[in-house]
Structure 1
Amino acid sequence: MTRASFLMLLCLAILLLPEIALAQLQPKFGQDTVYFTSNRKQIKIPFKLVHNLIIIPVAINDSKELNFILDSGVRNTLITRLFYSDSLNLNDADKVTIHGLGSGHEIEALYSSGNIMRMNGIQGDNHQVYVLLEDVFNLSHRMGMPVHGIIGYDIFKNFIVKINYSSKVLTLYRPDVELKKKKKAEEFPLHIEATKAYVYGNVHQQNGDTLEVKLVVDTGASHTLSLYLPTNNKLALPPKVMDAYLGRGLGGDIHGKIGRLDAFVMGKYALSDLPASYPDEEAIKLALNIANRNGNLGSDILNRFTVVLDYPHNKLTLIPNSKFKKPFNYNLAGFEISTPLPGTNIYVISNVVDNTPAKLVGLKPGDQILNINGQECKNMLLPEILEMIDSRPGRRIRMKLKREHQVFDVNFVLQSRI
């Protein structure tokens, strides 16, 4: 799956999960329970970056290290998928029902408290875990590797969290550590409300309006911005938009539109000509009255900076990196990629969008990608393939594919539809 069409899968499907689940039951505890296991002032954790999403190793109880998405949009740890070789002994598990976004059905989950969470040099006691009994997100197939769950607020509330997207290193600092401010850095107030972190910015619309918006800072959303039209009558769709499948919520599929903003501005940083997502009102009705927010700020903006999320002191620090001035592209090829066997370098087309280069050359879901521009896919990781097919409009792509027992070649040129 391309990162463009993956963008809302986590943003909408997962962003609201804890609030909806916690509305039904929300155990209280009186003290923070995640801490360094030594007297160190900082711990560095290398991470993997796929679809702009941060993957870190986490162990629950006596499990081996599992792959978790680090998502500032969630409160409680969520297990989305366990494989046959995974062992997870949960304490006091009770079955609960979760209602989510989209149009579909309720999801059953197990809720468990009193667990132990471990990362390198870090331990969490009395850890609360939700385990989905149905893998509704298919994260492993979409991410190209086994993904077991999502973790968020328990990490951010206890530490100063520095995310270096360029070096792919996460640094956690004790809250009493004072970080030196870099010359190019700018600090912003971080408003913590009901476990979520919010910032204010300005969107410059193509109709000439400039609006201040309140956005959730969401490392678990792979897109740029999501804007909720019903929250402000001055928010307007761009003149050129495309219908889009934005992802899947706990309750079913989420649809909406994609179009470009003239700019998004925070302080001295201005990002121009970027795509924004506008989910259908029905799909996000559960989100519309939460904290008076207008949408969320995703990781296709965040990854253009080194980001310091300082929940203990209510500060967000942004330091531009080498990607800051790169243009924003959106699904230039017109198809999505998944891996039928997560962890292997086998890639198949999972969806083809109408009126796109991929559709015009006859690509179909299920086609296996063997070679792209002379490079064997068996030697490539998913992020490398995504980078190639979303690189720039006008680039020519040559692909060798396999459909059932037939091998064939196609050629097309990447193009922007918005």
Structure 2
Amino acid sequence: MRVAGYRAITCAFLLMLLSTLQVWAQLPQPSDTVYLTSGRNKIILPFKLVHNLIVLPVRVNNSQSLNFILDSGVQNVLITHLHFDDSLDLQQTSRIKIRGLGEGYTIEALHSVGNTISMPGVAGENLTVYVLLEEVFDLSMRMGMPVHGIIGYDIFKNFIVKINYSTQTITLYKPDYKVRKKRKAEEYALHIEDSKPYLYGSVRQHNGDSLDVKLIVDTGASHSLSLYLPTNERLSLPPKVMEAYLGRGLGGDINGKIGRLPGFRLGKYNIENLTANYPDEQAVKHALNIAGRNGNLGSEILKRFTVIFDYPHQKLTLIPNRKFKEPFNYNMAGFEVSTPLPGINFYTISNVVDDSPAKLVGMQPGDQLLYINGRNCTELQLQELLNMLDSRPGSKLRLRLKRAKEIIDVNVVLQSKI
């Protein structure tokens, strides 16, 4: 079946909670193969890092190069968005219903088996592909570049995967290759359950209580930690939290709270004063009884290490990089930005948080950002702009906005509420 140019979708705050994708049908899983096309033991692939998410070029069947997020929490290839000039030659398709985190409903998708993928030096055969048929996410607009889908377990299970966030490269090793590790490296048991990777850590809460937590390791989540309060009666909210729109999953909006944890420990590494998300119970109800997990560990923490996923031997290795001791910031301006024309530096306000600095000065969804601190926004890459929103409390943003035909100047003072 040929799929061409349908309008699809993506995510809001990029809380990629696709790890709970459930297929509502008993579907046979084919025996797939992903391998290096050369005779070498490894291959190095560059990637783009946007919103802490890894973006790789991937071809599906005979398609042109498409941009995929590498998500350790998703099992099969998931197509979330195709532009009008994109096409796939999908094999053996059928319609199914799927659901994930969020407060909404199930959605329809195409299920296709017998497909191929390719990246430079890498090929995959007989793969399962899902294509969403409804608008759920909006990754391209949120990431400032065309994003077409998500890939995960098909890559991780067939290789030892080394992610170097500092150099923005991924090295894929054959499963029997002996990867050299630096002295600072620490190795952890990685528990693969239902195609998803878990590890155990310890959170230190504001009341001094420390408890062990089981977390899915999720390269497709842009946050640091997400903790599910109903999974353990000892888990509690920090004394200072803010209501937040955390994102959008396959099942709809994900709301909750953001606060700070005094500490999170992984083996010998103690990470202090970090931000944490606490999704509302309704938004994560489908994940509460899966594998006894208490939440997920996202890329705001992972990017502070070089990370080696070894699914074949069920091990995870962490090597701290220069970002290890950087503070954990978050958006203190109270507004979110999207790019209606992905790939072009044209920015609009997509969401304004109630009782935030942005709300207090009258900013509204749909406002176009023209200038920020005297800089023309057409000269700013999305990540540069977002870094300004994550600055220090008390910092002032001088904004020039366009609303319909009106030009508006406002000053937003960043304010920490947690």
**Correspondence 1:377-388 to 2 at 5 A:** 377-388=377-388
In 2, distance between residues paired with 1:163 and 1:373?
35
Contact 2:228 2:279 in 1 (8 A): yes
**Correspondence 1:3-402 to 2 at 5 A:** 6-8=13-15, 10-11=16-17, 14-17=18-21, 20-21=22-23, 24-30=25-31, 32-402=32-402
Structure-1 residue corresponding to 2:4: none
Contact 1:329 1:416 in 2 (8 A): no
In 1, distance between residues paired with 2:398 and 2:312?
50
In 2, distance between residues paired with 1:34 and 1:78?
16
In 2, distance between residues paired with 1:45 and 1:415?
39
Contact 2:30 2:113 in 1 (8 A): no
Contact 2:358 2:412 in 1 (8 A): yes
- Equivalent position amino acid for 1:16 in 2: T
- Equivalent position amino acid for 2:20 in 1: L
Contact 1:73 1:219 in 2 (8 A): yes
Q: Which range is displaced more, 255-264 or 403-412?
A: 403-412
User: Identical aligned pairs, as a percentage?
Assistant: 65
In 1, distance between residues paired with 2:254 and 2:356?
21
In 1, distance between residues paired with 2:282 and 2:352?
25
Q: SS of the counterpart of 2:83?
A: coil
Unaligned runs of 5+ in 2: 1-11
In 2, distance between residues paired with 1:103 and 1:6?
15
Contact 1:201 1:214 in 2 (8 A): yes
Deviation of 1:67 (Å)? 0.5
In 2, distance between residues paired with 1:204 and 1:169?
32
- Equivalent position amino acid for 1:155 in 2: I
How many residues are treated as equivalent by the alignment? Answer: 407
Contact 1:6 1:51 in 2 (8 A): no
Q: SS of the counterpart of 2:256?
A: strand
In 2, distance between residues paired with 1:164 and 1:70?
13
Deviation of 1:183 (Å)? 1.7
Deviation of 1:211 (Å)? 0.4
* Poorly superposed stretches of 4+, deviation over 4 Å: none
In 1, distance between residues paired with 2:268 and 2:101?
35
In 2, distance between residues paired with 1:130 and 1:156?
18
Give the TM-score, by structure 2 length: 0.95
Q: Which range is displaced more, 116-125 or 350-359?
A: 350-359
In 1, distance between residues paired with 2:72 and 2:251?
21
Deviation of 1:130 (Å)? 0.2
- Equivalent position amino acid for 1:6 in 2: F
In 2, distance between residues paired with 1:47 and 1:262?
32
Q: SS of the counterpart of 1:215?
A: strand
Contact 2:49 2:55 in 1 (8 A): yes
In 2, distance between residues paired with 1:412 and 1:28?
52
- Residues 358-403 of structure 1 show CA distances to partners (whole Å, capped at 9, x for unaligned) of 1122211111111222222112211111112212222221122211
Give the TM-score, by structure 1 length: 0.95
In 1, distance between residues paired with 2:384 and 2:400?
16
Deviation of 1:7 (Å)? 4.9
In 2, distance between residues paired with 1:103 and 1:314?
33
Q: SS of the counterpart of 2:100?
A: coil
- Residues 88-126 of structure 1 show CA distances to partners (whole Å, capped at 9, x for unaligned) of 110111111113332223211000001111111111100
- Residues 220-248 of structure 1 show CA distances to partners (whole Å, capped at 9, x for unaligned) of 00001111111111111111112211112
- Residues 247-305 of structure 1 show CA distances to partners (whole Å, capped at 9, x for unaligned) of 12222212111111110111111111111111111221111111111110000000111
- Equivalent position amino acid for 2:288 in 1: L
Q: SS of the counterpart of 1:140?
A: helix
In 2, distance between residues paired with 1:323 and 1:220?
19
Q: SS of the counterpart of 2:292?
A: coil
Q: Which range is displaced more, 174-183 or 200-209?
A: 174-183
- Equivalent position amino acid for 2:28 in 1: P
Contact 2:244 2:353 in 1 (8 A): no
In 1, distance between residues paired with 2:352 and 2:288?
31
Contact 2:20 2:287 in 1 (8 A): yes
Deviation of 1:415 (Å)? 1.8
Contact 1:80 1:137 in 2 (8 A): yes
In 2, distance between residues paired with 1:95 and 1:211?
43
In 2, distance between residues paired with 1:232 and 1:316?
25
Q: SS of the counterpart of 2:286?
A: coil
